[in-house]
Protein backbone atom coordinates (compact mmCIF):
# COMPACT_ATOMS: atom_id res chain seq x y z
CA UNK A 1 0.00 0.00 0.00
CA UNK A 2 1.37 3.42 -0.92
CA UNK A 3 2.59 5.70 1.89
CA UNK A 4 3.03 2.73 4.26
CA UNK A 5 6.03 1.11 5.92
CA UNK A 6 5.91 -2.25 7.67
CA UNK A 7 7.85 -1.74 10.87
CA UNK A 8 10.09 -4.59 12.02
CA UNK A 9 13.02 -4.93 14.40
CA UNK A 10 15.36 -4.76 11.40
CA UNK A 11 13.98 -1.44 10.10
CA UNK A 12 16.54 1.36 9.96
CA UNK A 13 16.25 5.12 9.90
CA UNK A 14 17.71 5.13 6.38
CA UNK A 15 14.92 2.80 5.22
CA UNK A 16 12.29 5.13 6.69
CA UNK A 17 13.80 8.27 5.16
CA UNK A 18 13.96 6.58 1.76
CA UNK A 19 10.34 5.46 2.02
CA UNK A 20 9.23 8.91 3.21
CA UNK A 21 10.94 10.54 0.25
CA UNK A 22 9.20 8.20 -2.17
CA UNK A 23 5.70 9.04 -0.90
CA UNK A 24 5.75 12.45 -2.56
CA UNK A 25 3.54 14.00 0.15
CA UNK A 26 5.85 13.95 3.16
CA UNK A 27 3.80 11.39 5.09
CA UNK A 28 4.50 7.78 6.00
CA UNK A 29 2.31 5.38 7.97
CA UNK A 30 3.97 2.61 10.01
CA UNK A 31 1.91 -0.59 10.14
CA UNK A 32 2.35 -4.16 11.26
CA UNK A 33 1.74 -7.30 9.17
CA UNK A 34 -2.00 -7.09 9.93
CA UNK A 35 -2.08 -3.44 8.76
CA UNK A 36 -2.72 -2.00 12.23
CA UNK A 37 -1.44 1.58 12.47
CA UNK A 38 1.61 1.79 14.75
CA UNK A 39 2.49 5.43 14.13
CA UNK A 40 3.22 8.02 11.47
CA UNK A 41 6.23 9.98 10.24
CA UNK A 42 6.09 13.38 8.56
CA UNK A 43 8.81 15.66 7.24
CA UNK A 44 8.35 17.71 10.42
CA UNK A 45 8.70 14.68 12.70
CA UNK A 46 11.90 13.66 10.90
CA UNK A 47 13.37 17.15 11.06
CA UNK A 48 12.66 17.47 14.79
CA UNK A 49 14.08 14.01 15.46
CA UNK A 50 17.34 14.77 13.67
CA UNK A 51 17.67 18.12 15.46
CA UNK A 52 17.21 16.27 18.76
CA UNK A 53 19.96 13.81 17.68
CA UNK A 54 17.67 10.79 17.62
CA UNK A 55 18.79 7.96 15.37
CA UNK A 56 16.24 5.20 15.99
CA UNK A 57 12.94 5.12 14.07
CA UNK A 58 10.98 4.15 17.15
CA UNK A 59 12.14 7.35 18.88
CA UNK A 60 11.13 9.60 15.99
CA UNK A 61 7.73 8.40 14.81
CA UNK A 62 4.51 9.83 16.25
CA UNK A 63 3.04 6.82 18.04
CA UNK A 64 -0.23 8.53 18.98
CA UNK A 65 -1.44 10.31 15.83
CA UNK A 66 -4.88 11.81 15.42
CA UNK A 67 -6.91 9.57 13.09
CA UNK A 68 -10.37 9.62 11.57
CA UNK A 69 -12.83 6.98 10.43
CA UNK A 70 -12.35 5.82 6.86
CA UNK A 71 -16.02 6.53 6.01
CA UNK A 72 -15.97 10.15 7.19
CA UNK A 73 -17.16 12.55 4.43
CA UNK A 74 -14.39 14.51 2.72
CA UNK A 75 -15.84 17.85 3.81
CA UNK A 76 -15.60 16.84 7.48
CA UNK A 77 -12.04 15.57 7.08
CA UNK A 78 -10.94 18.85 5.46
CA UNK A 79 -12.61 20.88 8.22
CA UNK A 80 -10.90 18.76 10.88
CA UNK A 81 -7.49 19.13 9.25
CA UNK A 82 -7.85 22.89 8.98
CA UNK A 83 -8.86 23.12 12.63
CA UNK A 84 -5.75 21.18 13.63
CA UNK A 85 -3.49 23.04 11.15
CA UNK A 86 -2.39 19.72 9.62
CA UNK A 87 -1.94 18.51 6.08
CA UNK A 88 -2.50 14.75 6.44
CA UNK A 89 -5.02 12.53 8.18
CA UNK A 90 -4.67 8.74 8.61
CA UNK A 91 -7.90 6.89 7.71
CA UNK A 92 -8.82 3.98 9.98
CA UNK A 93 -11.48 1.25 9.68
CA UNK A 94 -11.89 -0.86 12.82
CA UNK A 95 -8.24 -0.30 13.74
CA UNK A 96 -6.95 -1.12 10.25
CA UNK A 97 -5.05 1.54 8.30
CA UNK A 98 -6.93 2.20 5.04
CA UNK A 99 -4.98 5.14 3.62
CA UNK A 100 -4.16 8.78 4.14
CA UNK A 101 -6.15 11.87 3.21
CA UNK A 102 -3.88 14.73 2.09
CA UNK A 103 -4.81 18.36 1.62
CA UNK A 104 -2.03 18.50 -0.97
CA UNK A 105 -4.13 16.29 -3.24
CA UNK A 106 -7.11 18.68 -3.17
CA UNK A 107 -7.39 21.32 -5.85
CA UNK A 108 -8.18 24.38 -3.74
CA UNK A 109 -9.30 27.66 -5.27
CA UNK A 110 -6.98 30.32 -3.90
CA UNK A 111 -8.75 33.53 -2.93
CA UNK A 112 -7.30 36.76 -4.27
CA UNK A 113 -7.65 38.75 -1.04
CA UNK A 114 -4.25 39.89 0.22
CA UNK A 115 -3.13 39.27 3.81
CA UNK A 116 -0.82 41.98 5.16
CA UNK A 117 1.11 40.97 8.28
CA UNK A 118 2.75 43.68 10.37
CA UNK A 119 5.94 41.93 11.49
CA UNK A 120 8.39 44.76 12.08
CA UNK A 121 8.07 45.30 15.83
CA UNK A 122 11.00 45.30 18.25
CA UNK A 123 9.40 43.16 20.94
CA UNK A 124 11.35 45.05 23.60
CA UNK A 125 9.06 43.87 26.43
CA UNK A 126 10.27 40.32 25.77
CA UNK A 127 13.81 41.26 26.77
CA UNK A 128 16.64 38.93 25.74
CA UNK A 129 14.27 36.66 23.79
CA UNK A 130 14.21 39.18 20.94
CA UNK A 131 17.88 40.18 21.03
CA UNK A 132 18.65 38.02 17.99
CA UNK A 133 15.15 36.94 16.97
CA UNK A 134 12.30 39.19 15.80
CA UNK A 135 9.21 38.71 17.95
CA UNK A 136 7.06 37.12 15.19
CA UNK A 137 9.72 34.39 14.83
CA UNK A 138 9.62 33.28 18.47
CA UNK A 139 8.61 29.63 18.80
CA UNK A 140 5.09 28.68 19.77
CA UNK A 141 4.91 24.91 19.84
CA UNK A 142 7.20 23.62 17.12
CA UNK A 143 7.21 26.63 14.80
CA UNK A 144 7.44 30.44 14.79
CA UNK A 145 4.24 32.31 15.61
CA UNK A 146 4.43 34.01 12.20
CA UNK A 147 4.23 30.61 10.52
CA UNK A 148 1.11 29.82 12.54
CA UNK A 149 -0.49 32.96 11.09
CA UNK A 150 0.50 32.09 7.53
CA UNK A 151 -0.85 28.58 7.87
CA UNK A 152 -4.04 29.87 9.52
CA UNK A 153 -4.87 31.94 6.44
CA UNK A 154 -3.47 29.45 3.92
CA UNK A 155 -5.63 26.67 5.29
CA UNK A 156 -8.65 28.89 4.71
CA UNK A 157 -7.53 29.39 1.08
CA UNK A 158 -5.83 32.81 1.35
CA UNK A 159 -2.38 32.52 -0.19
CA UNK A 160 -1.26 36.07 -1.11
CA UNK A 161 0.80 37.68 1.64
CA UNK A 162 2.67 40.91 2.21
CA UNK A 163 5.05 41.02 5.18
CA UNK A 164 5.91 44.49 6.53
CA UNK A 165 9.35 44.16 8.13
CA UNK A 166 11.86 46.23 10.04
CA UNK A 167 13.68 44.70 13.01
CA UNK A 168 15.78 41.62 12.10
CA UNK A 169 14.09 41.48 8.72
CA UNK A 170 16.72 39.11 7.31
CA UNK A 171 15.69 36.37 9.77
CA UNK A 172 12.12 36.39 8.47
CA UNK A 173 13.09 36.64 4.80
CA UNK A 174 15.54 33.76 5.09
CA UNK A 175 12.96 31.51 6.76
CA UNK A 176 10.00 32.21 4.47
CA UNK A 177 11.63 33.18 1.17
CA UNK A 178 9.00 33.72 -1.52
CA UNK A 179 6.58 31.44 0.33
CA UNK A 180 6.71 28.52 -2.12
CA UNK A 181 7.68 25.92 0.47
CA UNK A 182 4.63 26.90 2.50
CA UNK A 183 2.25 26.88 -0.46
CA UNK A 184 1.81 30.66 -0.53
CA UNK A 185 3.14 33.78 -2.26
CA UNK A 186 4.98 36.31 -0.08
CA UNK A 187 6.05 39.84 -0.98
CA UNK A 188 7.93 42.13 1.37
CA UNK A 189 7.77 45.75 2.42
CA UNK A 190 10.82 46.99 4.30
CA UNK A 191 10.20 49.86 6.71
CA UNK A 192 13.34 51.98 6.87
CA UNK A 193 11.82 53.67 9.94
CA UNK A 194 9.09 52.76 12.39
CA UNK A 195 5.76 53.50 10.70
CA UNK A 196 3.10 52.34 13.15
CA UNK A 197 0.37 49.76 12.58
CA UNK A 198 -0.89 51.35 9.35
CA UNK A 199 1.90 53.53 7.94
CA UNK A 200 3.61 50.72 6.03
CA UNK A 201 0.43 50.19 4.02
CA UNK A 202 1.30 53.39 2.14
CA UNK A 203 4.33 51.57 0.69
CA UNK A 204 2.30 48.84 -1.03
CA UNK A 205 3.12 49.01 -4.73
CA UNK A 206 1.02 46.21 -6.20
CA UNK A 207 -2.58 46.90 -7.12
CA UNK A 208 -5.10 45.66 -4.57
CA UNK A 209 -8.58 45.27 -5.98
CA UNK A 210 -10.38 43.32 -3.23
CA UNK A 211 -10.86 43.80 0.52
CA UNK A 212 -7.65 42.83 2.28
CA UNK A 213 -6.65 41.70 5.75
CA UNK A 214 -4.21 43.43 8.06
CA UNK A 215 -3.03 41.54 11.14
CA UNK A 216 -0.35 42.14 13.72
CA UNK A 217 2.44 39.58 13.58
CA UNK A 218 2.34 38.91 17.33
CA UNK A 219 -1.27 37.67 17.41
CA UNK A 220 -2.36 34.05 17.63
CA UNK A 221 -5.97 33.32 16.78
CA UNK A 222 -8.36 30.70 15.45
CA UNK A 223 -10.69 33.27 13.92
CA UNK A 224 -12.72 32.12 10.91
CA UNK A 225 -11.31 34.62 8.43
CA UNK A 226 -13.86 33.69 5.78
CA UNK A 227 -16.63 34.62 8.20
CA UNK A 228 -14.79 37.87 8.98
CA UNK A 229 -14.53 38.74 5.29
CA UNK A 230 -18.20 37.91 4.69
CA UNK A 231 -19.20 40.12 7.64
CA UNK A 232 -17.11 43.01 6.31
CA UNK A 233 -18.70 42.79 2.88
CA UNK A 234 -22.24 42.36 4.17
CA UNK A 235 -21.95 45.57 6.19
CA UNK A 236 -20.59 47.56 3.22
CA UNK A 237 -17.76 48.70 5.49
CA UNK A 238 -14.72 50.60 4.40
CA UNK A 239 -13.00 49.13 7.48
CA UNK A 240 -13.73 46.38 10.00
CA UNK A 241 -11.91 45.91 13.30
CA UNK A 242 -11.89 42.66 15.26
CA UNK A 243 -12.49 43.15 18.97
CA UNK A 244 -12.08 40.91 21.99
CA UNK A 245 -14.02 41.29 25.26
CA UNK A 246 -11.86 42.33 28.20
CA UNK A 247 -13.07 42.44 31.78
CA UNK A 248 -11.92 44.77 34.54
CA UNK A 249 -13.02 44.17 38.13
CA UNK A 250 -13.05 46.90 40.77
CA UNK A 251 -11.43 45.30 43.85
CA UNK A 252 -13.76 47.18 46.25
CA UNK A 253 -17.43 47.66 46.87
CA UNK A 254 -18.76 50.52 44.73
CA UNK A 255 -21.27 53.02 46.09
CA UNK A 256 -23.61 54.55 43.50
CA UNK A 257 -25.13 57.93 44.41
CA UNK A 258 -27.45 60.44 42.76
CA UNK A 259 -26.91 64.15 42.29
CA UNK A 260 -27.99 64.77 45.93
CA UNK A 261 -25.39 62.36 47.29
CA UNK A 262 -28.10 59.86 48.20
CA UNK A 263 -27.05 56.22 47.96
CA UNK A 264 -29.07 54.52 45.26
CA UNK A 265 -27.16 51.27 44.86
CA UNK A 266 -24.32 49.20 46.28
CA UNK A 267 -22.25 46.97 44.00
CA UNK A 268 -19.74 44.54 45.44
CA UNK A 269 -16.60 44.37 43.29
CA UNK A 270 -18.41 45.03 40.00
CA UNK A 271 -17.03 43.89 36.67
CA UNK A 272 -17.03 46.07 33.56
CA UNK A 273 -16.54 44.59 30.09
CA UNK A 274 -14.90 46.49 27.25
CA UNK A 275 -14.18 45.71 23.60
CA UNK A 276 -10.44 45.87 22.99
CA UNK A 277 -8.70 46.12 19.64
CA UNK A 278 -7.57 42.60 18.66
CA UNK A 279 -5.08 43.73 15.98
CA UNK A 280 -6.98 42.09 13.10
CA UNK A 281 -8.65 44.19 10.39
CA UNK A 282 -10.28 44.09 6.97
CA UNK A 283 -9.95 47.16 4.77
CA UNK A 284 -11.33 48.08 1.37
CA UNK A 285 -8.72 49.05 -1.23
CA UNK A 286 -9.81 52.71 -1.17
CA UNK A 287 -8.78 52.89 2.49
CA UNK A 288 -5.18 53.08 1.27
CA UNK A 289 -5.86 56.57 -0.12
CA UNK A 290 -6.34 57.90 3.42
CA UNK A 291 -2.91 56.84 4.66
CA UNK A 292 -0.14 59.47 4.34
CA UNK A 293 2.85 58.32 2.32
CA UNK A 294 5.89 57.08 4.22
CA UNK A 295 4.84 58.51 7.58
CA UNK A 296 4.14 57.08 11.01
CA UNK A 297 0.44 56.30 11.12
CA UNK A 298 -1.42 53.84 13.31
CA UNK A 299 -4.61 51.90 12.73
CA UNK A 300 -6.77 53.62 15.40
CA UNK A 301 -5.98 56.96 13.73
CA UNK A 302 -7.13 55.53 10.39
CA UNK A 303 -10.41 54.33 11.89
CA UNK A 304 -10.96 57.68 13.59
CA UNK A 305 -10.43 59.37 10.23
CA UNK A 306 -13.13 57.22 8.67
CA UNK A 307 -15.50 57.84 11.59
CA UNK A 308 -15.00 61.61 11.28
CA UNK A 309 -15.72 61.37 7.55
CA UNK A 310 -18.91 59.42 8.15
CA UNK A 311 -17.57 56.23 6.55
CA UNK A 312 -19.04 52.87 7.50
CA UNK A 313 -16.92 51.04 10.11
CA UNK A 314 -17.93 48.08 12.25
CA UNK A 315 -16.50 45.72 14.81
CA UNK A 316 -16.35 41.95 14.42
CA UNK A 317 -16.63 40.20 17.78
CA UNK A 318 -14.16 37.37 18.23
CA UNK A 319 -15.52 34.22 19.82
CA UNK A 320 -12.47 32.12 18.99
CA UNK A 321 -9.04 31.68 20.52
CA UNK A 322 -7.06 34.93 20.59
CA UNK A 323 -3.85 35.91 22.30
CA UNK A 324 -1.65 38.97 21.88
CA UNK A 325 1.94 38.05 22.70
CA UNK A 326 3.51 41.10 24.24
CA UNK A 327 5.26 39.75 27.31
CA UNK A 328 7.09 36.60 28.40
CA UNK A 329 4.01 35.42 30.30
CA UNK A 330 1.97 35.62 27.08
CA UNK A 331 4.53 33.52 25.21
CA UNK A 332 4.49 30.94 28.00
CA UNK A 333 0.69 30.87 27.87
CA UNK A 334 0.74 30.43 24.08
CA UNK A 335 3.02 27.40 24.37
CA UNK A 336 0.84 25.88 27.07
CA UNK A 337 -2.23 26.42 24.89
CA UNK A 338 -0.49 24.90 21.89
CA UNK A 339 0.48 21.80 23.89
CA UNK A 340 -3.08 21.40 25.08
CA UNK A 341 -4.33 21.83 21.52
CA UNK A 342 -1.89 19.13 20.29
CA UNK A 343 -0.87 20.94 17.13
CA UNK A 344 2.24 19.00 16.18
CA UNK A 345 2.53 18.33 12.45
What pLDDT sits at residue 1? Answer: 52
Which pLDDT tens digit goes with each residue over 57-110? 888 889 899 999 988 887 788 888 877 778 889 999 988 998 888 876 665 567
Query: What's the mean pLDDT when you consider all of the chain?
Result: 88
Helix (H) or strand (E) holding 149: helix 145-154
Whether residue 275 contacts residue 244, with contact meaning beta carbons closer than 8 Å, is answered with: yes
Q: Concatenate the DSSP letters of all residues of 56-81 into one string.
A: -HHHHSBSS---EETTS-HHHHHHHH
Q: What is the pLDDT of residue 343?
A: 37
pLDDT of residue 194: 86
Number of other CB atoms surrounding residue 221 within 10 Å: 21
Q: Give the residues of the chain that fall short of pLDDT 70.
A: 1-3, 9, 104-109, 123-124, 339-345
Per-residue pLDDT reduced to its tens digit, 264-289: 999 999 999 999 999 999 999 999 99
Please give the pLDDT value at position 33: 87
Supply the DSSP symbol for 2.
T
CATH top-level class of 111-341: alpha beta
Cα–Cα distance measured from residue 160 to residue 226, given in angstroms and rounded to the nearest whole number:
15
Where do the structural domains in the chain lie, given as residue ranges?
4-105, 111-341
What pLDDT shows up at residue 265? 96
Chain Cα centroid distance, residue 250 = 34
Residue 344: what pLDDT?
Answer: 34
Strand partners, 280: 215
Please give the class, per CATH, of domain 4-105.
alpha beta
pLDDT at 342: 42
Amino acid sequence: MRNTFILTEQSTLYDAIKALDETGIGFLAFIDQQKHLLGILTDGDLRRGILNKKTEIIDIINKDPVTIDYNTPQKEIIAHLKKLHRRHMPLIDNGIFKGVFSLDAIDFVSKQNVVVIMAGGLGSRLGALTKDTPKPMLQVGDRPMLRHLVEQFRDQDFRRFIFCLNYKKEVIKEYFGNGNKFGVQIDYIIEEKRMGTAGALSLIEQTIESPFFVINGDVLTDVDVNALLSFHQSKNNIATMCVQPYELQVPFGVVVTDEKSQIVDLKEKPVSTYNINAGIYVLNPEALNAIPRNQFYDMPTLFQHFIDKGKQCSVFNLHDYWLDIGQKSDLHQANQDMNNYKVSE
